[in-house]
Amino acid sequence: QPATAIKHIEQQPDSDWPISSWVAWSKAKLALQQGNDILARLAPEIANNPAPNDSALLYLALAEQQTGEGKKWTTAMAQRVFIREQRGDTTHAAEVALYYLHLAAEPQQALHWANINWQQAKSFNDEQLLSKIRQLAAAES
């Protein structure tokens, strides 16, 4: 229920939201085709942050993709993924998997990162992500 999630989260001022609330709110907004709201509200929160959270970058990039408004955040997320790969940094493997799945359209790379994420995290959401990407990667083969 995306609308219910948004209503619940928006009971608090967004200046008080932790990143987990921004992520949940952004997921719900994307589900309702409201990517413009993400760009309008989340972008100013992280625009001056020299090292924005990977999840924030991902959802801003997904909002750009949904709205067709620019490539600023998509480029920033691509650069973040490149840096993580160069460093062998698997800290945000789920976000990298989602980047490859939705933004770069590389299901095999998405599967690689979803497997790394599953090895590290093993939550229900991580299992769902891996299962979804496995199905998509198999369909592509």
Whether 131 maps to a domain, the answer reads: no
* Count of domains for the chain: 1
Whether 93 maps to a domain, the answer reads: no
pLDDT, tens digit (0-9, with 9 covering 90-100), for 62-99: 999 999 999 999 999 999 999 999 999 999 999 999 99
Whether 112 maps to a domain, the answer reads: no
Which secondary structure element, helix H or strand E, spans residue 42, and what is its range? helix 35-46
Whether 136 maps to a domain, the answer reads: no
3-state secondary structure 63-104: HHHHHCCCCHHHHHHHHHHHHHHHHCCCCCHHHHHHHHHHHC
Domain region containing 42: 1-63
Whether 22 maps to a domain, the answer reads: yes
pLDDT for res 61? 99
pLDDT for res 48? 86
pLDDT for res 141? 75
pLDDT for res 103? 98
Whether 118 maps to a domain, the answer reads: no
Question: Cα(19)–Cα(114) distance, rounded to whole angstroms?
Answer: 21
From the number of C-beta atoms within 10 Å of its C-beta (0-12, 13-18, 19+), residue 117 rates as buried
User: How far, in Å, are 25, 85, 91, 103, 119 from residue 28 at the CA level?
Assistant: 5, 29, 24, 18, 27
Whether 3 maps to a domain, the answer reads: yes
End-to-end CA distance of the chain: 33
From the number of C-beta atoms within 10 Å of its C-beta (0-12, 13-18, 19+), residue 99 rates as buried
Whether 70 maps to a domain, the answer reads: no
Tens digits of pLDDT across the chain (141 residues): 999 999 999 999 999 999 999 999 999 999 999 999 999 999 999 988 889 999 999 999 999 999 999 999 999 999 999 999 999 999 999 999 999 999 999 999 999 999 999 999 999 999 999 999 999 999 887
Write down the mean pLDDT value for the chain.
Answer: 96
